[in-house]
Amino acid sequence: MTDSLAPAPLTLERMRADVADLLGEPPEAVGDDDHLMDLGLDSMRVLGLVLAWGNTGIALEFGHLAEHTTLAGWWQVVQKLQARARVDA
């Protein structure tokens, strides 16, 4: 039996869409290996993403994302945290 109130897992597509929305761009404008700060993402916006994405059930912290500058790097972090959350569940 699944818990219908459980948060949906964070996906790369959602991450891309959320970043693009903050930048006022379409999702396809944000490439996996683009330097997100060069696209205009700043630390306050990253903090907002951390808070929103943390609601998906992973223990995401600002420092996790601050160590990486690309969506691909962030996705690797999220995948590790999701795997850890599954083990801990």
pLDDT tens-digit readout, 18-63: 999 999 999 999 999 999 999 999 999 999 999 999 999 899 999 9
**Tokens representing 67?**
């160590």
Domain ranges of the chain: 12-88
Q: Is the pTM of this model over 0.85?
A: yes
CA 57 to mean position of chain CA atoms: 12
Sign, CA torsion 69/54/44/61: negative
Q: What is the rounded CA–CA span in Å between residue 12 and residue 15?
A: 5
- Three-state SS for 62? helix
The CATH number of the structural domain formed by 12-88 is 1.10.1200.10
